[in-house]
Structure 1
Amino acid sequence: MVQALRARTFSTVFAAAKKAGLSWNAIAAATGLKADRISLIARGEAQITAFDTVERIADGLRIPGAMMGLAARSWESDAPVTPRPAMEDESMHRRNLLRSALAAGLTAAPLTELTDLLGKADNALAGAGPADIARLEATTEQHSYGYGGRAPTDVLADLIADFSDVVPLLQRPQPAAARTALTRIMGQLGGMAAVVLHDLGSQREANAWFATAARSAQESGDRQLHAWILARKAMVPLNFGAPEAAAAFAEQARHIAGATPTAAAALAAAVTGRAYALSGRREEATAALRDADRLADTLPEDQRADTWFGHCEQKHHVHLSHAMTALGETRRARESQAHALALSAPTSTLTRTLLRLDAATCQHRDGHTLDACQAAVATLVDIPVRYQTGLTRRRAVDLYRSVPANLRSAPAARWLAEVLAV
């Protein structure tokens, strides 16, 4: 029972309660759930994911909060009688819990909480106190500067914690201008959380967060943010084996962004070029990359910021590196890799790793396959374990899959296979 409560396996909890003498109707009266649903849950035919429902079960069945990963319940005799913490303290507590959970991996418990939070966000967007817009906008801007050397799971925990601060504000009536600002902030925070989930290799969760972020941006009326979100969403199928689907999303982003030189328009064109390159559609790839170069060259200064929402020179060359590598234009790919590495901040581990893997793929395309395998291994073992997942692993797997069968028994190829297996 202790293990079931900790894992929130309510099939075991309800079945044990029934065995101890509680009827489904008694559990229903205590928790506010329907008796037939409780019966289904006990048989493992239905599940509980909503956080509010978990709290109702804890309170109705008098289960101490600590046993279910909750705060001490108000009825617990040993719960400290202290004033309710300020919003900032609650946010910090939630942030620390998220960091611990996410650092342990994207397992069922943290993913359930993320899904529950998305549900609340969608409900808030469907609904109607003044909000501290300036503070939220400043927090969002700080997030936009990227990883800054921090672990992706730490960044994700902070983004989700701040996102969850916006949700209750949208659940209350707001002046029109405040609601517009809040939906825009939700779109930005949700989009950045989706980017991190993509980098961690969690495709399903990334797509779900991109969907809510896109809806937020659309409601706010910010077409450039909407285009940016769709362009970043296109990078999920782009980097995980579905370039045709990526091209469709990217073209949609280009349409929304329009012809004016903006960071979103440049990103959408670059992603479109990469998608067509991976699909083997050389002419369309070349045309899209030509547009991306034109837009990047004419961007206003404020659109060139080195943030997730800007399109700086380094970011542009990272996209070009991947596109030219896919097209087999290794000389141009290496030029972009050199430019991007020269511009890369010392703490940009993910960027450096992807560029080095592109360079290894260029070696393979130039006929030096075993040298490419050695370079990929050196890249993977040179980075912390937390970066050896998701996007970086997929890029290395793509390289290994392109190794001819007659070379896979060579030591360098076997070594790459062993590193990827680990």
Structure 2
Amino acid sequence: MSMPPERPGFPAHSLSSEAMISACRERDFAQIFKLAKRAGMYNATIATLVNMTQSRVGEIMSGKREIGKMDVIERVADGLRIPGHMLGLARREWEGPEPIVPARQEGGSPYAPADPVLSLPGPDLDSILAVAAGPKLSPSTVRALHSSIEDYWRRDDEHGGETLRPAVVGQLRYVVELIKEAGEGEYRRHLYEVAAELARLTGWTYFDARQYSQARTYFTEALQLAKVVDDRPFMANVLSCMSLQATYEDRPADAVALSTAAQDSARWRGGTPRVMAMLSMREAFAHATMTNQSATHAALAEAHKQFGRISATDDDPSWVTYFDEAKLIVDTGIARGRLGEADAAEPLVANALRRAHPGNQRGRAFHSFWLARIQLQRGNLDEACDTAAGALRYASAVDSERVTGHLREFHQQLTPYRKEPAAVDFETQLRATLR
């Protein structure tokens, strides 16, 4: 009997290429489709395999469209036979079972320790066992999930999100499986809220790594999950994250639009004063990026007005509790620093930096950078370089491309002073820290 022809997909040598590994890690589907074409697949073939139209495949290749939905990403993995782990997915059904580790050959030492990695169960087994056991949902289950998210955020502040991301994504998939198994009711709503927060956190880790396309994918996923349970304040929170990202991508008009959309969404369900203060501050950042002084000051005034309305009886969501008085002050200083109002900005940022939590390494690095930049605006070169050196020390403890990018930006601002001793010393420290 003749065997059926093997379904086409990426050959092994293409999957193992550096270009393919990099494209999958970034979920750069334009590059993945181009590599598929280079491997001998026509647009029509790709379209058939991934269940898309040829025109959409062409738009993705040209960068006019992106792939963000998880079900479409899974279709691409299955259609082009890309192993799940390469795209951050669970092991695909067509990959078959996990390979069996061969027994130790004769002659090997009976006392040699087993490889701890090979002896651990895979993540798929953990998921299968969890789902097979059934969703034993209770108030303690929900509390445990929220507690783990709080811990993730704390560790993200202290160390950055690069190494944290696999655990967060794994828990996101686990919660999504629980949602599929859970019946209608309050627990299902709580699970959607947890999944939305995990998706937002994943997007944030990509944003902090300046991997903006991936960040948008997960921010969009978070919006969709929150929309299912009509959690308008949380949708506003995600939109505010997207607004901040737009400022980094030099899309200030989009940043303004996203920040105002966030405020509209929060008002729909009566966002608390703390929520509205945080969202107004994001609008101020967006306007400050365009150096629109009047609009920036209007948004800052609104942020301070809303913050003044905060009451101990407010039912603030947990994700906004970080926005305290110190955060209000430092963000005001940063916004005014962006406008070039260095005299007013410096005491605000310096005061908040003194009050910052010692465990928040990324925050201290970020705020030190802004203080150094403001001091440089005021012509205090030695003081600015000393502050920036402090930012370097904080940055060395956290994996954040966003922070290191700012420090390189400060180094560029030192160009007119390159021969000055303070600038030379900072450059030496920068090269030693970020090599």
| Range into which the TM-score falls when normalised by the shorter chain | 0.5 to 0.7
CA contact (8 A) 2:142 2:190 kept: no
Q: Find the residue that maps to 1:144 and give its secondary structure.
A: helix
CA distance in structure 1 between the partners assigned to 2:288 and 2:35 by the alignment: 51
For 1:79, the equivalent position in structure 2 comes to: 100
- In structure 1, the partner of 2:405 is 394
Determine whether 1:139 maps to 2:151.
Answer: no
Alpha carbons 2:343, 2:378 under 8 Å: kept: no
Aligned with 1:167 (options 176, 181, 204): 176
Residue pair 1:225, 1:264 contacting (<8 A) in 2 also: no
Q: Deviations over 1:18-48 (max 9, x none)?
A: xxxxxxxxxxxxxx999xx9xx9xxx99xx9
Query: Is 1:292 aligned with 2:303?
Result: yes
Q: Which moved more, 1:379-388 or 1:362-371?
A: 379-388
- Quick one: which amino acid aligns to residue 235 of structure 1? L
Please say if 1:219 is aligned against 2:231.
no
Which of 281, 292, 312 is the equivalent residue of 1:281? 292
* Residue of structure 2 equivalent to 1:123: none
- Per-residue CA deviation, residues 214-261 of structure 1 (Å, 9 max, x unaligned), is 122122111111111111221112234333321211111111222653
| Pick aligned residue for 2:328 from 308, 311, 316 | 316
Separation in structure 2 between the aligned mates of residue 182 and residue 348 of structure 1, nearest angstrom: 28
1:210-359 superposed matches below 5 A: 210-258=219-267, 261-301=272-312, 308-310=319-321, 311-359=323-371
Alpha-carbon distance in 1 for matches of 2:396, 2:294: 39
Structure 2 counterpart of 1:376: 388
How much does 1:389 deviate?
Answer: 1.6
Cα shift readout 1:325-380 (whole Å, capped 9, x = no counterpart):
21333344333324423432221101100111111011111122465345324422
Q: Hey, what does 1:204 align to over in structure 2?
A: 213
Partner Cα separation in structure 2 for residue 65 and residue 232 of structure 1:
28
Q: Indicate conservation of the 8 Å contact 1:140/1:188, yes or no.
A: no
SS of structure 2 residue aligned to 1:153: coil
- The structure-2 alpha-carbon separation of the partners of 1:12 and 1:142, relative to structure 1 and needing over 3 Å to count, comes to closer
2:378 paired residue number: 366
TM-score (normalizing by structure 1):
0.68
Structure 1 residues 397 and 272: CA distance shift in structure 2, 3 A? farther
Q: CA deviation at 1:136?
A: 4.2
Q: Is the 8 A contact 2:206 2:214 kept in 1?
A: yes
**In structure 2, do the counterparts of structure 1 residues 220 and 396 end up closer, same or farther at CA, with 3 Å as the change threshold?**
same
Cα distance in 1 for partners of 2:87, 2:417 equals: 52
Structure 1 residues 238-288: Cα deviation after superposition (integer angstroms, max 9, x where no partner): 234333321211111111222653332111101111221221111111111
Evaluate the alpha carbon distance shift between residue 52 and residue 237 of structure 1 in structure 2; reply closer, same or farther with a 3 A threshold.
closer
**Aligned amino acid, residue 218 of structure 1:** K
RMSD: 4.7
Paired residues in the alignment total 362
Distance 1:33 1:232, change over 3 A: closer
Q: 1:161 to 1:301 in 2, by over 3 A?
A: farther
- Higher mean Cα deviation, 346-355 or 308-317? 308-317
Label 1:171 to 1:89 Cα distance change in 2 as closer, same or farther (>3 A). closer
Give the AA of the match of 1:188.
Answer: E
Q: 1:290-312 deviations in whole A, cap 9, x for unaligned?
A: 11112222223376989643222
Give identity over the alignment, percent.
18
Query: Kindly tell me: are residues 415 and 13 of structure 1, through their superposed partners in 2, closer, same or farther at Cα, counting changes over 3 Å?
Result: same
Separation of aligned partners in 2, 1:77 and 1:143: 30
Alpha carbons of structure 1 residues 64 and 169: separation in structure 2 relative to 1, 3 Å: closer
Whole-Å separation in 1 of the counterparts to 2:86 and 2:257: 47
Task: Give the deviation of 1:193 after TM superposition.
Answer: 1.8
- Cα gap change, 1:250 to 1:328, in 2 (>3 Å): same
Amino acid across the alignment from 2:300: L
Q: Assess if the C-alpha contact under 8 Å between 1:321 and 1:355 holds in 2.
A: no
* TM-score normalised by structure 2 residue count: 0.66
2:106 alignment partner in structure 1? none
Structure 2 residue identity aligned to 1:138? A
Gaps of 5+ in 2: 1-10, 22-31, 41-48, 103-118
**Partner residue of 1:89?**
126
- Aligned 8 A contact 2:77 2:84 in 1: no
Shift of the 396–80 alpha-carbon distance from structure 1 to 2, 3 Å rule, reads closer
Q: 1:119-160 deviations in whole A, cap 9, x for unaligned?
A: xxxxxxxxxx76636424532343235234244223322221
Where does 1:148-159 land on structure 2 (aligned, <5 Å)? 148=155, 149-159=158-168
CA contact (8 A) 1:330 1:365 kept: yes
Report the residue type matching 2:144 in the other structure: A
